[in-house]
Amino acid sequence: MQSKGTTGSAISGVIAIFLVLVCLFYLSFSWVTKRYEDKATEYAMVMSGGDAASDSYKKAYKNYIDSIGKEKVYPVLGYTFNQVQKMGVGLGLDLKGGMNVILQVSVPDILRSMANAEGNKTFNAVISATDSVVKKTKTSDYVAAFFKEYQRIDPSADMAVVFKNVAKRGENAAQVEATVKQEVKDRVASSTNVLRNRIDQFGVVSPNIQELEKDGQILLELPGVKEHDRVRELLKASANLEFYEVYTIDEIQSQLMALENALRSDSTANVNSIFAYFDGQGYPGTPIVGMATQAHREVIDSILESPVAARILPSNLKLRWEVKPQEVQYTDTATNTTRKAEIYQLIALKSNNGKPALAGDVVVSATSDFDNMSGNYVSMNMNSEGAKAWARVTQNNLGKPVAIVLDDHVYSYPRINSVIEGGRSQITGQFTVEDAKDLANVLKSGKMAAKVDIISDTVIGPSLGKQAIHDGFLSFVIALVLLMAFMMFFYGFIPGLVANMGLVCNLFFTFGILASFQAVLTLPGIAGIVLALGMAVDANVLIFERAKEELRAGKNIRQAIADGYSNAFSAIFDSNLTSVITAVILLLYGTGPIKGFATTLIIGIVCSFFTAVFLTRLVFIGFGKTAPFQRLTFTTKLSRNMLTDTKINFLGQRKVSFTVCGILALVVVASLFLRGMNQGIDFSGGRNYVVQFDHPVKTHEIQSKLAPSFPNASLSVITIDNDTKVRISTNYKINEETDGVDREITEILYSGLKDEIGNMSLEDFSTTNENVGIQSSQKVGPTIAADMKNDAYIAVVLSLIAMFLYILLRFHNVAFSVGALAAVAFTAFTIIGFYSLFWGILPFSMEIDQTFIAAILTVIGYQINDTVVVFDRVRENTQLYPKQDFFSMINMSINSTLSRTIMTSCSTLLVLLCIFILGGESIRSFTFAMLFGVITGTLATIYVAAPVAYLTDRRRNSGKKAA
């Protein structure tokens, strides 16, 4: 019969093997992707003559990647390159460059469109009142606030009549509200689908598009995007649904031949043929003009937009591409292999003085369905006006196709078989279930009734991304090496080797799990992994310190190790769980990079718990009988007597510590009153621009040059990384939503910095692809800034409440909860005060923003770790020495865990110092807050948490001897 320990070890071994296999599987996708991306790089270098910065290199690289997209590149399993690319660990915007945009779809406009509210004074008054309520209360449920205000302003209103377009007659207000909420949700989802199709057409690789919790907000992360102004216009444009009559290829063949002949005879033209770029010809009797790959589409489009084409082709002819490509096979003559390619059909549309036969705003509903005859299809209903127009269009086009076009892309061109009256019709085609749903969404949305505003906009240039990759991985590698050396230096070669093996496995599992989630890696994400490594060392330190204590008590090495693991388990579990709780709060209330940090931190903590508590124990069990393991002491010559048998009267110093804390609190309050806090644009709203120069510049000179151009607005200029790069921040015209403000500010920067940038053009200055000029930009509107600030307050308060309740649950003593809460509150307050005191003095950004709040919450979780370890020892000592007074017991517990406290703090500080020095400017403020927080938190655990817990626990210390 197996013992419990043996059974547990066997289970741990099986889990470890399973994790290794799963992680290998998912990480293999990243390896395959890298292999083919390297081939694309080699191909592009050959095609561009070795010039990696040229447009020909970028075009060749893209063409190679596009050409292998449908090829099966994964051995045995047969995954295509597109599938493999999506399943690996990708790089986030801060490492790859690109855009992060938050859009606000106007919910008031959606409500107006559902209610036909034009001219309805009551309805418009309710909208104004709701806007004020939402702004004041920060509620995310606009519809609920709207219905509440409507009942307040007009209690007798029949909401089913107000929203008669979507509600059923006789429904009560609650039912109508539910219907309207669902309709708003559907229309925002439809807008999201429209945006997704636009982005796909733009050619962005692996975009992330998702709806946020607040009504009408949509997040878009677009890696690698370079044409930022074009993307902004693309996102803000209204989705325009139209129905067009069509030409057949036979009807326009002569004009196309005339265009071909004109191109051939024009010696000045860059391209002398259009037919040469078609990868397939059109079919007689159909509106298909020809077919082309994505690369050839761009050339054909340039021809069709030329003056020659405008002169020859009919004025009412519109040539538009299908929205989705078709997959074809062809033989690559260069390699004599069969390849797959995606080709798009070019459709000939017939306009009426530039207008469609029917506009899409007449469609009131559309649904996808299925039957055995038609397969997947879409049915749609039009309003009365649209029904009459649709009957006329179908009458005039019997036996001919009519094209359905959204945003100048053809979705389908069904043939009209009979006159369609009543506004109800059916669209059939070779649709998949998803195709039918998408088309139904397109038809239902039509031309979006709601405007779209960009409320947050961040642009990161590729050069900053490359620097971030270098900084992130350099700090990561050095921190890992130093941690490994640290463990060997203090605990000996073999224990250090076992702990380091756990660190490596931790990393492997973390990256494997990230790959399985198809997550992207960001610079804060790397910081989260590195920080999790520091916390993994904490678990090993706890185990090794307990093992040392058991050895000093006279136990043999095998028993000492077993007891070390078992006695340290509760402290490790509690400390890890409290860190996970704060990380989950960050995940819920953070955005973008903060979510990336929280995700990797959670995964890293879970992996570190498994590797430190279970996996390393397997090694000690497996090799425990060998001679080297029998001689283990978990010490070295330098660390053998370090912090052993200390008898410091910490509680006796509580009056001094409370006095120091009181003085610090007064200084912080004075600083907050006199200097305030330097709020980042996350919380205040505004714009940031990172500008790179080719020579050193002085920030005060830059500020004096720009200040006159920003009247009645804040302006700050700070150095980033080195004295050739600055960050310029301003809230100039942040409340104005006109399209020209971004351009105006760029022109102001260009004009003000003309002396520093020389003969550089405005276009080059504002393009983030250049090595000099604007490298990144960020805009946070006042609405999203208010939301972020509100979420930050909630996150901090929730974190403090969660820590209080968890300590109470685990220790069943409110004194411990009060002590822990007092310590973390003091630490957070001190960090805020330090930033208030020294912003503008220390040579890096010390702004209060989302990143700072993330640091505060992480420090709270980390400090609770320290506090839990001390209180856990108090609980243990209470059981061992029930007659000992509480005062002595707390002192004894602090002293007995002092070695662990110092060792853990040192290892964490070592990691943070690496990130602070090498990790890059974008996370320097975060790591500095963490550095200061770890030091302050360690001291607060000893000098605040323990004394406050002692004084609060009147039941236990009442009548005991005072110090």
- Segments of 742-874 assigned E as strands: 773-780
Annotate 497-544 with DSSP letters as a single string.
HHHHHHHHHHHHHHHHHHHHTT-EE-HHHHHHHHHHHHHHHHHHHHHH
In this structure, are residues 822 and 936 in contact, taking their beta carbons and an 8 Å threshold? no
CATH number of 492-633: 1.20.1640.10
Asked if pLDDT for residue 39 goes beyond 60, the answer is yes
In this structure, are residues 69 and 327 in contact, taking their beta carbons and an 8 Å threshold? no
Q: Give me the mean pLDDT over the 819-845 stretch.
A: 87
What is the reported pLDDT for 332?
58
What is the reported pLDDT for 959?
46
Give the pLDDT confidence of 366-377 residue by residue, as tens digits: 788 888 777 888
Asked if pLDDT for residue 691 goes beyond 60, the answer is yes
Give the pLDDT confidence of 782-802 residue by residue, as tens digits: 767 677 777 777 888 888 888
In the DSSP assignment, the letter for residue 615 is: I
What is the reported pLDDT for 157?
85
Separation in Å, CA 798 to CA 214, 803, 804, 941: 19, 9, 10, 20
Give the pLDDT confidence of 237-278 residue by residue, as tens digits: 666 778 999 999 999 999 999 998 888 887 666 778 888 888
Asked if pLDDT for residue 329 goes beyond 90, the answer is no
Question: Which burial class, exposed, middle or buried, applies to 495 when counting CB atoms under 10 A from its CB (0-12, 13-18, 19+)?
Answer: buried
Nearest Cα to Cα of residue 349 among 305, 395, 394, 317: 317
Q: How confident is the model at residue 185 (pLDDT cuts 50, 70, 90)?
A: confident
Asked if pLDDT for residue 718 goes beyond 80, the answer is no
Q: What interhelical angle do 4-47 and 616-623 show, nearest 10?
A: 120
In this structure, are residues 803 and 820 in contact, taking their beta carbons and an 8 Å threshold? yes
Residues in the chain: 963
Q: Give me the mean pLDDT over the 846-865 stretch.
A: 81
In this structure, are residues 358 and 392 in contact, taking their beta carbons and an 8 Å threshold? no
What is the reported pLDDT for 960?
47
What is the reported pLDDT for 319?
93
In this structure, are residues 907 and 535 in contact, taking their beta carbons and an 8 Å threshold? no
Nearest Cα to Cα of residue 694 among 746, 756, 747, 750: 756
Class of domain 686-780: alpha beta
Nearest Cα to Cα of residue 727 among 687, 764, 670: 687
What is the reported pLDDT for 2?
46
Lowest mean pLDDT among 188-202, 302-316, 822-836, 872-886: 188-202
What is the reported pLDDT for 201?
57
Give the pLDDT confidence of 553-572 residue by residue, as tens digits: 888 888 888 888 888 888 88
Rounded to the nearest 5°, which phi and psi values hold at 201? -65, -30
Q: How confident is the model at residue 756 (pLDDT cuts 50, 70, 90)?
A: confident
Q: Give me the mean pLDDT over the 882-904 stretch.
A: 86
Lowest mean pLDDT among 188-202, 426-440, 685-699: 426-440
Asked if pLDDT for residue 460 goes beyond 60, the answer is yes
Residue with tokens 């009734």: 449
Q: Give me the mean pLDDT over the 878-903 stretch.
A: 86
In this structure, are residues 769 and 52 in contact, taking their beta carbons and an 8 Å threshold? no
What DSSP element (H or E) covers 850?
helix 850-880
User: Percentage of the chain surpassing pLDDT 90?
Assistant: 8
Asked whether this chain's domains 492-633 and 686-780 adopt the same fold, the reply is no
Give the pLDDT confidence of 124-175 residue by residue, as tens digits: 888 888 888 887 776 778 888 999 998 899 888 888 888 877 878 888 888 8
Asked if pLDDT for residue 448 goes beyond 70, the answer is no
**Residue 380 CB contacts under 8 Å (≥ 6 apart), including other chains:** 363, 365, 366, 367, 424, 425, 427, 440, 443, 444
What is the reported pLDDT for 1?
41
Q: How confident is the model at residue 775 (pLDDT cuts 50, 70, 90)?
A: confident
Q: Give me the mean pLDDT over the 299-310 stretch.
A: 85
CA pair distance 850, 860, nearest whole angstrom: 15
- The highest-confidence range among 396-400, 679-683, 697-701, by mean pLDDT, is 396-400
Beta bridge partners of 381: 365, 424
Enumerate the domain spans of the chain.
Answer: 4-88, 102-205, 241-447, 492-633, 650-683+781-963, 686-780
Q: Give me the mean pLDDT over the 794-819 stretch.
A: 86
Separation in Å, CA 9 to CA 15, 506, 527: 10, 18, 32
What is the reported pLDDT for 203?
61
Q: How confident is the model at residue 5 (pLDDT cuts 50, 70, 90)?
A: low
Asked if pLDDT for residue 350 goes beyond 90, the answer is yes
Asked if pLDDT for residue 738 goes beyond 80, the answer is no
Query: Average per-residue pLDDT in the chain?
Result: 82
What is the reported pLDDT for 334?
54
In the DSSP assignment, the letter for residue 401 is: B
CA pair distance 561, 579, nearest whole angstrom: 26
What is the reported pLDDT for 251?
92
End-to-end CA distance of the chain: 54
Nearest Cα to Cα of residue 199 among 232, 151, 177, 175: 232
In this structure, are residues 564 and 960 in contact, taking their beta carbons and an 8 Å threshold? no
Domain covering 650-683+781-963, topology:
Multidrug efflux transporter AcrB transmembrane fold (1.20.1640)
In the DSSP assignment, the letter for residue 962 is: P
Domain covering 241-447, topology:
Gyrase A; domain 2 (3.30.1360)
